Structure 1
Amino acid sequence: MKPVILAGGSGSRLWPKSRAALPKQFLSLTSKNTMLQDTVSRLNGIKTESPIFICNDAHRFLVAEQLRQKNVAHGGILLEPVGRNTAPAIALAALHATLKGEDPTLLVLAADHLISDVPAFHAAIEKASVLAEQGKLVTFGIVPTEPHTGYGYIKAGEKLTEGFGVEKFVEKPDLETAQGYVSSGKYLWNSGMFMFKASRYLDELEKYSPEILSVCKEAIETESPDLDFIRVDADVFSKCKDDSIDYAVMESTDSAAMVSLDAGWSDVGSWSSLWEASAKDDNGNVTIGDTILENTNNSYVNAEERLVSVIGLDDVIVVETKDAVMVAHKNDSQSIKDVVNKLKAEKRPEFEFHREVFRPWGSYDSIDNGGRFQVKRISVKPGEKLSVQMHHHRAEHWIVVSGTANVTIDDKTQLVSENQSVYIPIGSVHALENPGKIPLELIEVQSGAYLDEDDIVRFSDRYGRAPN
């Protein structure tokens, strides 16, 4: 069995924590681990090969770093040049898994789901594997706990050796329809998790969505390694149809089967669903960080940087980060996506980035700025190096707070230690490296007429971000 973990998606309904550059699958929302790390760890205890991961290019170093933190081996990190939904993504994984003539059983999981009962999850996987060996395309149906209108539903068909056939897939219903579904006992939530032989998925994709399979085959013919990653032909893949596995295959195939899963599952698709899935105090509140609540009930309050106090409110969501505060009624948390769309339309940085931005070499936090200056706190991991670069419009002053920096400015290289500083004039070619065994922490003061990140000319870069 080879897991395929889909690590794409933006998680926009969990703004301001989840953002385009750091979406929910890379955040610690339901445990001390990130959701991606939890997805991998819950595979412990069942026999699997190293997972294949699928993510977009912008998140590749996040995936690699979070796997490194947990010492997780992988069977490839496939990079989608553009998002084209789940059917093409899974096709790339299936094609990659069969390149050497093998035909593994694929366990397709989302990187941003919560499953609290891991033994029940493992039991469902065992049942699904029996059906997959019989040539079935298996989906995991979640036993509903309420008439939820935010999920699609699957109607169970005939009884099989393990699980059921699938009579039909249905879209997200209105409340009255959802109530009828749940009371009938014949409908389960559509989890978006699957299991099948790689060859069976490709066969059914060729039968029902041949254009998707054709494009994916052509795109992966020229797959090329790039550090830990596998790139496919971007020009070819961009022509692929955008379609989900449900529409492209599962709703049409006569080989669909379903195994029920009652394991405390949630797709954590909104702050209200995160509240539902979290442990609560006697007043029904979920609190994270430095919070004080008075006369407040059934609410979710998450404080990242500052004290957050909520007084005399019920059923609210309050989330505070370094650069944004979001307050919503719990029943209207789905509308957060509308706010995110406005931020995107207005090209606000809060749409894409947190104040602290993670890079493959470490991170930087913009702690102050003005008309012609910006101050950042920079952290460089041991042994890592920023690109060799220059700026047309800004000069920089680096002050080392801890650790040692190896600094190159034009043709001069020097070591800069704690409490020492160095100045980089406009137009100077420079590089910063941490040669030590501990993190390098420094303060960077930028000054000039233009301070945005696109004023970087890269000459070389170990992470493949410089022009060839």
Structure 2
Amino acid sequence: MKSKIIPVIMAGGKGTRLWPLSRATAPKQFIQFVGDRTLFQATLSRVADEALYEAPVVITNEDFRFLVAEQARELGIQLSGILLEPVARNTAPAVAVAAAFVADRFGEDAVLQILASDHEIIADAGYFAAIETAARTALSGKLVTFGITPTEPATGYGYIEIGDKLKTGAHAVKRFVEKPALPEAERMLAAGGFAWNSGIFMFQAGHVLSEMATFAPDVEKAARAALAKASGDLDFIRLDAEAFGASPDISVDYAIMEKTSNAAVVPSSFTWSDLGSWDAVWKLGARDEAGNVASGNATLINTKNSLVMSRTSHLAVQGLEGVAVIASEDAVYVGRLDDSQNVGKLVKHLAAAKATAALTETHPTSYRPWGGYTSILNGDRFQVKRLFVTPGKKLSLQKHHHRSEHWICVKGTAEVTVGDQVKIVRENESVYIPQGEVHRLANPGKIVLEMIEVQTGSYLGEDDIIRIVDEFGRG
């Protein structure tokens, strides 16, 4: 293959299926479930071979833009672009925008690989053999999808019926099958010739745009207009809101893959999961002799085939089988693993109640372009947070109308501006920020800075921040 593949990583999402660790503002691709990388970072790593891939393009939204940039920076991976969707419009508009962007930058013959940012994949020799077959097939003018060899009659995935073999080594697509009921899934598995629809695609930029123009012209038109009217913002490309919002809300499967006569599938046996449920996390985890997967602070007694994860309190689980027990900083989920596909329904129920809606939206840990913070304790007229600041980064020069702050350094070295004074604050030292005083926190060191912040005052909302100077362009 002469030219490199341009990876396009879809990094949006609502964060409902792996609640309570994932939330609307912290979907699963940006969370470390196991190991030292997030799913998004694992996806970036799979496309890091410069002999095979160009620098990736990422499509995300306003809320996640700094997470994307920072997690790529942590791996030392350069990006070709970060496209910001002003509204959620499903996968077809995102693919169309990416194809138009790639066509402008790399040419219409360029081959795109569309990747979800939240899939768990073992990139072994079989995986890269499938990539080569798909690229060959895409260069022949086909729209290629990857079909995963089923290991069970799963009802959470769509299926592809595999047709005749093509000269490139891929196969024609006979038909796409919606997520089936269990009897239908069992029938397809017994019959053979069916694969799970992975949601991974490969095609040439110009060719997929042509198919969009034929089968989903409103999508193609909106995507081109949104990119043509886009504006630059730091390292990001903001798509035009009005143009992009005019696109139909439709998946790439419905928009073109189920309609085109040029669909092809590469049957693939590499390990893959969309990690769409706690059951899927358990299946991919390292199980002990009792079939349990545990992480964090957990003790399991007389418990079998269960998933236990804690980010906070110690979980003691006794005498249970086939359950998921998941503890975040502010919520605990307990349910049967075989019912975990329905966590999304539980989240909708929580979101509909005023008392619990916040548990579905925001996570106690929030990420910012400079690092982030974890809310530790909230009380009447006071709040305690743990701040973590990336080496070389600084918060905005700011002030607050309604609160004062105490900062205690627990790790690293802080450079603190208070009024017209700048001082160095080291571990076990503290500084006081009076209400209304202009101030700033920076990390001049080589390790992550950790501070405990105690806020006191009549109003402690995040919107009581008057930014005077901000290197990230926030108002």
Where on the TM-score scale, by shorter chain, does this alignment land: which range?
over 0.9
Between 1:307-316 and 1:92-101, the stretch displaced more is: 92-101
The residue number in structure 2 matching 1:64 is 69
Are 1:199 and 2:216 counterparts?
Answer: no
The CA distance in 1 between the partners of 2:367 and 2:466, in whole Å, is 19
Structure 1 position 277, deviation (Å): 1.8
Between 1:322-331 and 1:375-384, the stretch displaced more is: 375-384
Are 1:125 and 2:134 counterparts?
Answer: no
Between 1:453-462 and 1:210-219, the stretch displaced more is: 453-462
Are 1:41 and 2:54 counterparts?
Answer: no
Structure 1 position 249, deviation (Å): 0.7
The residue number in structure 2 matching 1:137 is 143
**Alignment map for 1:186-265 (pairs within 5 Å):** 186-265=193-272
Q: Identify if the C-alpha distance between structure 1 residues 30 and 255 changes in structure 2 by more than 3 Å, giving closer, same or farther.
A: farther
Match of 2:410 among 401, 414, 433: 401
**Alignment map for 1:262-281 (pairs within 5 Å):** 262-281=269-288
The residue number in structure 2 matching 1:7 is 11
**Alignment map for 1:42-441 (pairs within 5 Å):** 42-44=46-48, 47-100=52-105, 102-103=107-108, 104-161=110-167, 162-345=169-352, 346=354, 348-410=357-419, 412-418=420-426, 419-441=428-450
The CA distance in 2 between the partners of 1:269 and 1:423, in whole Å, is 45
Structure 1 position 142, deviation (Å): 0.9
The residue number in structure 2 matching 1:448 is 457
Work out whether residues 400 and 416 of structure 1, in 8 Å CA contact, stay in contact via their aligned partners in 2. Answer: no
State the secondary structure of the residue aligned to 2:17.
helix
The CA distance in 1 between the partners of 2:150 and 2:412, in whole Å, is 53
Work out whether residues 15 and 25 of structure 2, in 8 Å CA contact, stay in contact via their aligned partners in 1. Answer: no
The CA distance in 2 between the partners of 1:382 and 1:51, in whole Å, is 25
The CA distance in 2 between the partners of 1:226 and 1:374, in whole Å, is 33
Q: Identify if the C-alpha distance between structure 1 residues 14 and 447 changes in structure 2 by more than 3 Å, giving closer, same or farther.
A: same
Structure 1 position 91, deviation (Å): 1.0
The CA distance in 2 between the partners of 1:349 and 1:12, in whole Å, is 13
Gaps of 5+ in 2: none
Work out whether residues 143 and 264 of structure 2, in 8 Å CA contact, stay in contact via their aligned partners in 1. Answer: yes
Between 1:308-317 and 1:72-81, the stretch displaced more is: 72-81
State the secondary structure of the residue aligned to 1:154.
strand
Paired residue type of 1:248: A
- Measured against aligned partners, the alpha-carbon deviations of 1:401-459 in whole angstroms (never above 9, x if no partner) come to 3444333344x222142344433333333322233444333222211122121222323
Q: Identify if the C-alpha distance between structure 1 residues 366 and 101 changes in structure 2 by more than 3 Å, giving closer, same or farther.
A: closer
Structure 1 position 126, deviation (Å): 1.0
Q: Identify if the C-alpha distance between structure 1 residues 432 and 32 changes in structure 2 by more than 3 Å, giving closer, same or farther.
A: closer
- Measured against aligned partners, the alpha-carbon deviations of 1:183-232 in whole angstroms (never above 9, x if no partner) come to 11122111100010010100000001111111111111133332222222
Paired residue type of 1:146: E
Structure 1 position 279, deviation (Å): 2.4
Q: Identify if the C-alpha distance between structure 1 residues 33 and 332 changes in structure 2 by more than 3 Å, giving closer, same or farther.
A: same
Structure 1 position 44, deviation (Å): 4.9
Work out whether residues 156 and 341 of structure 2, in 8 Å CA contact, stay in contact via their aligned partners in 1. Answer: no
TM-score w.r.t. structure 2 length? 0.93
The CA distance in 2 between the partners of 1:423 and 1:276, in whole Å, is 49
Structure 1 position 101, deviation (Å): 6.0
- Measured against aligned partners, the alpha-carbon deviations of 1:115-144 in whole angstroms (never above 9, x if no partner) come to 225211111111111211110000111111
State the secondary structure of the residue aligned to 2:375.
strand
Paired residues, number? 465
Gaps of 5+ in 1: none
Structure 1 position 35, deviation (Å): 0.9
The CA distance in 1 between the partners of 2:398 and 2:225, in whole Å, is 36
Between 1:48-57 and 1:340-349, the stretch displaced more is: 340-349
The CA distance in 2 between the partners of 1:404 and 1:178, in whole Å, is 58
The CA distance in 2 between the partners of 1:424 and 1:31, in whole Å, is 38
Q: Identify if the C-alpha distance between structure 1 residues 253 and 382 changes in structure 2 by more than 3 Å, giving closer, same or farther.
A: same
Paired residue type of 1:62: L
The CA distance in 2 between the partners of 1:115 and 1:364, in whole Å, is 30
The CA distance in 2 between the partners of 1:134 and 1:384, in whole Å, is 47
The residue number in structure 1 matching 2:468 is 459
TM-score w.r.t. structure 1 length? 0.95
- Measured against aligned partners, the alpha-carbon deviations of 1:239-287 in whole angstroms (never above 9, x if no partner) come to 2211110011101111111110111111110000111122212211111
Work out whether residues 154 and 169 of structure 1, in 8 Å CA contact, stay in contact via their aligned partners in 2. Answer: yes
Work out whether residues 416 and 423 of structure 2, in 8 Å CA contact, stay in contact via their aligned partners in 1. Answer: yes
Paired residue type of 2:394: K
Paired residue type of 2:10: L
Between 1:267-276 and 1:278-287, the stretch displaced more is: 278-287
| Sequence identity (%) | 49
Paired residue type of 1:83: A
Cα RMSD between the aligned structures? 1.8
Paired residue type of 1:446: Q
Between 1:106-115 and 1:446-455, the stretch displaced more is: 446-455
The CA distance in 2 between the partners of 1:231 and 1:7, in whole Å, is 15
The CA distance in 2 between the partners of 1:11 and 1:370, in whole Å, is 27
Work out whether residues 105 and 197 of structure 1, in 8 Å CA contact, stay in contact via their aligned partners in 2. Answer: yes
Work out whether residues 402 and 417 of structure 1, in 8 Å CA contact, stay in contact via their aligned partners in 2. Answer: no
Work out whether residues 30 and 114 of structure 1, in 8 Å CA contact, stay in contact via their aligned partners in 2. Answer: no
Work out whether residues 42 and 118 of structure 1, in 8 Å CA contact, stay in contact via their aligned partners in 2. Answer: no
Q: Identify if the C-alpha distance between structure 1 residues 451 and 116 changes in structure 2 by more than 3 Å, giving closer, same or farther.
A: same
